[in-house]
Structure 1
Amino acid sequence: MQPMVSKLTPQSRSDFLDRIRVVLTILVILHHTAIMYGAEGGWYLRYKADSTLSGALLTLFCAVNQSFFMGMFFLLAGYFTPRSFDTKGTQKFVFDRVLRLGLPILVFGFLLGPLSIALAETPAAFNVPSFWWYLLSKPTFNIGPLWFAYALLIFSAVYVVLRQVLRPFTWQIPLTSLRHSNIMLMLLMWGLGSFLLRLWVPTGQERGLLQIGYFSSYILLFSIGCAAAKTRLLEQIEKKLALPWAWISLLTIPSLFIYAAMSGAFKGVPFELHGGWSWPVVFYAFWEPFVACGIILSLLWRSRVSTAPWKMWNRLAPLTYAAFIVHAPIVVGLGTWMTSWQQYSLAMFVLVGASSVTASFVLASFLVKLPGARKIL
């Protein structure tokens, strides 16, 4: 079988990756909104789903998201890391990473994280501003969604060390490696890594502010992104490579819920997915990569070959990081404000989700105009 690659044309520019980042950022905001209205997962504010069906649909949405969206963020981050390092040099690269990742962690951790807690959990004896001030005065640190920046800071530090230690060696994936057999091998490594990590730290539990149980995909995809940079591999994905995996993803998605139903999970029979020695844990560990692969490849292919992308993408792309940083208190605030309608889970997911996406990007558009903000956001 011939490798599935193509020559880059002048139209095959990497700005399509920015459009993917917009999509992923929107999914992050909707993901947390879904958890708020009844999906499985952790979030500042949670309401019970109004029915088993609503809870199942929101959980399915989150499970599919979880399989790929943060991993794809790490893939894209890894893809631009070697280019940034080579352009800036070690010292400037390190300074840039600390500034762009470390400062938002501190701002969210000591300011926006406590605000999200105050919006969700203000006791009767306080109002939101007074309880927020109480949390600030303690002080309270809450990393929230900025765990991503924290993990990326760690990955970047490891990358710098490896570049210094292994110099002049660089790992790169050749274009000829774009084969179904190699992708299958990667997915098996991903699934096995997830299963083994979850024996140590089940999903939903943290070690050092990070949910280690999901890091098999994050480490693997960041590494692949770094190795794919020199050959611009992400800009070579074609339909004949992506489409078969897209079908595999579609067929794999319902399998977890079919397995759960056959095991009696919807009738109260224990169906543990988080970690440990059990077949459901094994199934879930391999379910994720086989769902994620087709989605990731399809996004890379379809976004690149789009002939007339929506002009709004170019306006939203520079706002993604700022929108990601500020979305938590917005989602929680809207959820608290609309608490009297919490019993309409799916409708509120749509309404609050759309409102949160809009508000996050609008606020981001003002933040990036602040003096010096462009160096960070």
Structure 2
Amino acid sequence: MNQRLDYLDQLRTALTMLVVVFHASIAYGAAGSWILVDVDTSELTVTSILLTLFTAVCQAFFMGLFFFLSSYFIPASYDRKGAGRFLKDRLIRLGVPFVGYTFIIGPLTYWFAHLRGMQSAADFYRTEVWSFKQIFVGPTWFLEALLLFSILYAVFRILVASKPAAPSERASFPTNTTLLVSAVSIGLIAFAVRFVYATGEGTLGLQFGYFPSYILLFIAGILANRNGWLAQLPARTVKRWGWTAVCAIPVLPIGFILTGALDGHLSFEGGLNVQAILYAFWEPFVCFGIILWLLRLFQSRFHTSSPLQKWLAAHAYAVYFIHPPVIVCWTMAMHQLGWPPAIKWVIVSMLSIATCLLAAAVLRAVPKASRVL
């Protein structure tokens, strides 16, 4: 495995573990939607405020970075396989886990967490699942979106022939001005989209209010591959945008506090208000800064992999797929303990990561399962 793949694989592994910690934080007070919450969310606490800031920062960049990393490998995959095999492999790799979670893992996790003592699983499936009254996409919305993006990419390649650019034809890495215009444009588009689809709203688990940055970063990953951008990450640009993200992070909580958040006045999800404007424009500046900094960090510090790191990278996708029921089970196991929510969050996060890795190893040992997971 070459250095490029090593550091990108390690970055993707780290992001996967962050997803587990992110969802566990919602169970213990952070704002957001999750299967099972183990705290009273009617009152603001120091823990809930800090965890909400943590999830807001994560939301700003980590799924966008997943789209970037995923799309970075798509052009070479398409070049090697052609349209038919490329789409077939995408359907298997993304579609099978999506269907498996939507109709098996997602519904059973929800039923076990909330209804196991009141309704049989068979009745639950008949009234809620097979009727499509509820659709349990969960975190596999990302697989759904990535599959749709991959199909659109294949259509584009069929209609417009595209080959890797010669070194003399490659576009240089985006300038600070280009990045600034892109950040402002994404903020403006997201603000407009959220008039129709507030954050948290959408179809089949796709929260359209966040998709402007997802689409941009998916395209950026393809362009980065074609133009060799990761080999020309400018240290000065990374440093400037990294500091921009650091300075921008406290702007959101300060702005929310000044507009009444501590008194329960929250309207950042969408619409014509200061909080919605602030949130929409805050996200891309935090997003660009953290993503550039992480790419540079992993490129310089994690460019080789040990056997353990390669094992973790091989099992990261399965961890993403199975982590919701694991978090729910550990949350339920910790429910009776009167420990502070922050302590429970740390413990549940660590136990969930360890359990997911063990379960992933078992799943991938099943014949042909590694082709899917």
The alignment's TM-score, normalised by the length of structure 1, stands at 0.90
* Counterpart check, 1:190 vs 2:186: yes
- Tell me if the contact between 2:239 and 2:293 (Cα under 8 Å) persists in the aligned partners: yes
* Counterpart check, 1:87 vs 2:87: no
Alignment counterpart, residue 106 of structure 2, candidates 95, 100, 113: 113
One-letter amino acid of the counterpart of residue 337, structure 2: W
Equivalents in 2 of 1:321, 1:106: separation in Å?
Answer: 15
Give the Å deviation of 1:352. Answer: 0.3
Q: What residue is the counterpart of 1:135 in the other structure? A: 124
* Counterpart check, 1:213 vs 2:209: yes
Give the Å deviation of 1:208. Answer: 3.6
Alignment of 1:1-377 (within 5 A): 12-46=3-37, 47-48=39-40, 52-122=45-115, 124-126=117-119, 131-136=120-125, 140=129, 141-168=135-162, 174-268=170-264, 270-306=265-301, 311=306, 312-341=308-337, 344-377=340-373
| Closer/same/farther in 2, CA of residues 168 and 248 from structure 1, 3 Å limit | closer
| Closer/same/farther in 2, CA of residues 183 and 114 from structure 1, 3 Å limit | same
* SS of corresponding position for 2:183: helix
Q: What residue is the counterpart of 1:6 in the other structure? A: none
| Closer/same/farther in 2, CA of residues 342 and 36 from structure 1, 3 Å limit | farther
One-letter amino acid of the counterpart of residue 167, structure 1: A
Give the Å deviation of 1:338. Answer: 1.3
* SS of corresponding position for 1:229: helix
Deviates more, 1:81-90 or 1:258-267: 258-267
Deviates more, 1:144-153 or 1:134-143: 134-143
Equivalents in 2 of 1:230, 1:168: separation in Å?
Answer: 10
User: What is the root-mean-square deviation of aligned Cα atoms in Å?
Assistant: 2.2
Q: What residue is the counterpart of 2:132 in the other structure? A: none
Deviates more, 1:107-116 or 1:164-173: 164-173
Equivalents in 2 of 1:88, 1:363: separation in Å?
Answer: 31
Q: Which runs of 5+ in 2 are unaligned?
A: 130-134
- After TM superposition, the runs of 4+ consecutive aligned structure 1 residues lying more than 4 A away are 136-139, 168-173, 307-310
Q: Which runs of 5+ in 1 are unaligned?
A: 1-9
1:146-172 Cα offsets, whole Å, 9 max, x none, are 000000111011111111122258899
- Tell me if the contact between 1:119 and 1:329 (Cα under 8 Å) persists in the aligned partners: no
Equivalents in 2 of 1:261, 1:138: separation in Å?
Answer: 43
One-letter amino acid of the counterpart of residue 30, structure 1: V
- Tell me if the contact between 1:119 and 1:332 (Cα under 8 Å) persists in the aligned partners: no
Equivalents in 2 of 1:307, 1:63: separation in Å?
Answer: 26
| Closer/same/farther in 2, CA of residues 149 and 232 from structure 1, 3 Å limit | same
- Tell me if the contact between 1:110 and 1:136 (Cα under 8 Å) persists in the aligned partners: no
One-letter amino acid of the counterpart of residue 318, structure 1: A
Percent identical among aligned pairs is 35
One-letter amino acid of the counterpart of residue 48, structure 1: D
1:337-373 Cα offsets, whole Å, 9 max, x none, are 2111366211111000111111111111121121111
| Closer/same/farther in 2, CA of residues 307 and 343 from structure 1, 3 Å limit | closer
- Residue-pair matches, total: 363
- Tell me if the contact between 2:29 and 2:47 (Cα under 8 Å) persists in the aligned partners: yes
One-letter amino acid of the counterpart of residue 114, structure 1: P
| Closer/same/farther in 2, CA of residues 113 and 37 from structure 1, 3 Å limit | same
One-letter amino acid of the counterpart of residue 235, structure 2: K
Equivalents in 1 of 2:338, 2:113: separation in Å?
Answer: 14
Q: What residue is the counterpart of 1:4 in the other structure? A: none
